[in-house]
Chains A and B, each alone.
Chain A
Amino acid sequence: MLLIWNRPGFVEGLSEEDRNAIFGGVDEIMKELTESGELVGGQALADPSQTRTVRLVGDRTEVTDGPFMESKEQFAGYLTVDCESPERAAEIAARWPDVRMGFGVLEVRPLMDDAGTEM
């Protein structure tokens, strides 16, 4: 799974040209991954201001509004790909506009499987 981390709202500060470049870049990779059959799924997340954070405080759970992390980059969405190697997944991540244009990072994590061999 490719986890997309970027600075919320960064798109608003961009020129129209840069914005189009980003969206165009996303469309291009998505089209390519769909055609190669590597795309399994993905979803963008709403702005962190729409977030609720639930945690245990003392003996009861507490729900708080808003962004839950100090870091500037927030979890913005994910992409699941089915590809031949971790290297290929990293290659896809490297082409993602957030990475290429320096607005964010992508984290590449393998998914856990429900299967296993008898050891």
Chain B
Amino acid sequence: MTGPGPTVEDLLRTLAPQVLGLLVRRHGQFDACEDAVQEALLAAATQWPADGVPEHPRSWLVTVATRRLTDAWRSERARRDREVAVAVREPAYAGVAPPPDEEPPAGDDTLRLLFLCCHPALNRPAQVALTLRAVGGLTTAQIARAYLVPEATMSQRIRRAKQRIEAAGARFAMPSPAERDERLRAVVQVLYLVFNEGYTASSGPDLRRAELTGEAIRLARELHRLLPDDGEVAGLLALMLLTDAHRAARTGPDGELVPLAEQDRGRWNRTEIEEGTALVTEALTWSPPGPYQLQAAIAAVHAEAPSAAETDWRQITALYRLLARVAPNPMVTLNQAAAVAMADGPRAGLALLAPLDDDERTAGHHRLYAVRAHLLELAGELAAAREAYLAAARATTSLPEQRYLEVRAARLADRR
């Protein structure tokens, strides 16, 4: 089977939230509208590449989705007669731009959808799945493939998510300003989660999850376009771009992970680096520095260094200090310790690691062992470093990481 060309697919992804938003606003019933839109998208994905894209693709989708919706309603005729009458009376899109008094800009619908999908009544996996489907326009099968679970599992997850939203009485409206901030934080986290899911997987033999990286960047770009005055949204997009820029350099010829310090910086994506750096630099001039901006700023400092040795470690440790204050978290401390070791020597870094043994979020975590191993190696304590590398290798559930850590341990054994 040949899929739709990139242009048709891009077009569908852009139109999906607009069409869904319009239907939900007109008819309510998020659950039913979402199913109808998915069917319309599938129909378009098979017909358009063969027959050509219709002149008014959005109206085409609205018409088909509305027809599916009324079909669904007809099948429960007795109870639904009245709604069918309303939906049918409503003119299907004539094809030209919608009357300005009836339709708010499509972007508002996308934002409402993002907020609805990241509803607090849902857990994170459900928020992620629903966002990818309703806003990203991915099919259940695509999402299931990306998350390596059976389609039935993902379909169930999405179904329940929609039911929970209906049960929570969520409306398709902008949340109140206070609630909006809360909800936006969830949206930003969901998008970053999607990005990481794709990025950490792109080293493995299964490249399909790399699609998620692109989708997360696309949605972050859209969010930034809708909310240009939010510094953290700008920071999120910058962080994604600056991280994604490493893609080509972060794995070796056999798929093994290459640490940042050893990456061929000539293979970093300059376009993404420039865009990300400009975004975060600009945002930091007017926005209070939040965790995403600070992480992006750290990535930007790495990006401008010609080599690991020539990195401005002072600036990086200063940014980490700020990050540890704004968003205290043992994982931040872990990265901070690695940076401090480069600026002030491995002993200073090791001292920062000590309290993490008592924190249940990091005790026994492979990252803690791995960073400690690296710093012990820098300090010349090779036997202890080797032990720590092996402990890290035992604790990780990632195959490439395990291989990397075992190689480091083996190299130390050779040096003794």
> For window 28-67 of chain A, which residues contact chain B by CB distance below 8 Å?
34-41
B400 contact set on A, CB distance < 8 A:
114-116
Contact with A along B251-293 (1 / 0, CB 8 A): 0000001111001000000000000000000000000000000
Q: Is A110 an interface residue (CB 8 A)?
A: yes
Which of A34, A39, A118 makes the CB contact (< 8 A) with B258?
A: A118
User: A37 and B398: CB pair below 8 A?
Assistant: no
State A13–B406 Cα separation when bound (angstroms).
48
Report A113 CB to chain B, min CB distance, Å: 5
State A110–B203 Cα separation when bound (angstroms).
20
Q: Is A14 an interface residue (CB 8 A)?
A: no
User: B160 and A37: CB pair below 8 A?
Assistant: yes
Q: Is B333 an interface residue (CB 8 A)?
A: no
State A116–B196 Cα separation when bound (angstroms).
10
User: A116 and B370: CB pair below 8 A?
Assistant: no
State A39–B153 Cα separation when bound (angstroms).
7
Q: Is A69 an interface residue (CB 8 A)?
A: no
User: B150 and A41: CB pair below 8 A?
Assistant: yes
A110 contact set on B, CB distance < 8 A:
397
Which of B125, B201, B396 makes the CB contact (< 8 A) with A114?
A: B201
B367 contact set on A, CB distance < 8 A:
119
Report B349 CB to chain A, min CB distance, Å: 15
User: B153 and A116: CB pair below 8 A?
Assistant: no
Which of A82, A112, A115 makes the CB contact (< 8 A) with B209?
A: A115
Which of A37, A113, A119 makes the CB contact (< 8 A) with B156?
A: A37
Q: Is B327 an interface residue (CB 8 A)?
A: no
Smallest Cβ-Cβ distance to A35: which chain B residue: B156
Which of A36, A114, A116 makes the CB contact (< 8 A) with B206?
A: A114
A82 contact set on B, CB distance < 8 A:
149, 153
Report A63 CB to chain B, min CB distance, Å: 30
Which of A35, A39, A115, A116 makes the CB contact (< 8 A) with B404?
A: A116
B204 contact set on A, CB distance < 8 A:
113-116
Q: Which residues of B contact A (CB under 8 A)?
A: 123, 125, 149-150, 152-154, 156-157, 160, 200-206, 209, 246, 250, 257-260, 263, 367, 370, 396-402, 404-405
Interface size class of A (residues with CB under 8 A): 20 to 34
A118 contact set on B, CB distance < 8 A:
246, 250, 257-260, 263
Give the 9 A-B CB pairs with smallest separation, nearest first: A114-B204, A37-B157, A116-B398, A116-B401, A116-B400, A115-B201, A115-B200, A37-B156, A118-B250
State A112–B399 Cα separation when bound (angstroms).
6
State A38–B152 Cα separation when bound (angstroms).
10
User: B203 and A115: CB pair below 8 A?
Assistant: yes
**Sample (9) of A-B pairs whose CB atoms are under 8 Å apart:** A34-B153, A82-B153, A112-B402, A114-B203, A114-B205, A115-B398, A116-B398, A116-B399, A119-B257
A114 contact set on B, CB distance < 8 A:
201, 203-206, 398-400
State A111–B393 Cα separation when bound (angstroms).
14
Interface centre among B200, B246, B263 (most CB of A within 10 A): B200
State A40–B201 Cα separation when bound (angstroms).
19
Q: Is A15 an interface residue (CB 8 A)?
A: no
Smallest Cβ-Cβ distance to B374: which chain A residue: A119
Known: A114-B201, A114-B204, A114-B206. A119 touches B153 (CB 8 A): no
User: B401 and A119: CB pair below 8 A?
Assistant: yes
Q: Is A71 an interface residue (CB 8 A)?
A: no
Q: A40-B150, A117-B401, A119-B259 are in contact. List 15 more A-B contacts (CB 8 A).
A: A34-B152, A35-B156, A37-B125, A37-B153, A37-B154, A38-B153, A40-B149, A111-B397, A115-B203, A116-B203, A116-B404, A118-B258, A118-B260, A119-B257, A119-B404
State A35–B161 Cα separation when bound (angstroms).
12
B259 contact set on A, CB distance < 8 A:
118-119
Smallest Cβ-Cβ distance to A83: which chain B residue: B125
Which of A35, A40, A117 makes the CB contact (< 8 A) with B200?
A: A117
> For window 85-119 of chain A, which residues contact chain B by CB distance below 8 Å?
110-119
State A19–B167 Cα separation when bound (angstroms).
38
State A64–B126 Cα separation when bound (angstroms).
48
Smallest Cβ-Cβ distance to A40: which chain B residue: B149
Smallest Cβ-Cβ distance to A34: which chain B residue: B156
A116 contact set on B, CB distance < 8 A:
200, 203-204, 257, 396, 398-401, 404
User: A119 and B370: CB pair below 8 A?
Assistant: yes
B405 contact set on A, CB distance < 8 A:
119
Report A46 CB to chain B, min CB distance, Å: 23
Interface centre among B156, B263, B404 (most CB of A within 10 A): B156
B206 contact set on A, CB distance < 8 A:
114
State A35–B401 Cα separation when bound (angstroms).
33
Report A85 CB to chain B, min CB distance, Å: 12
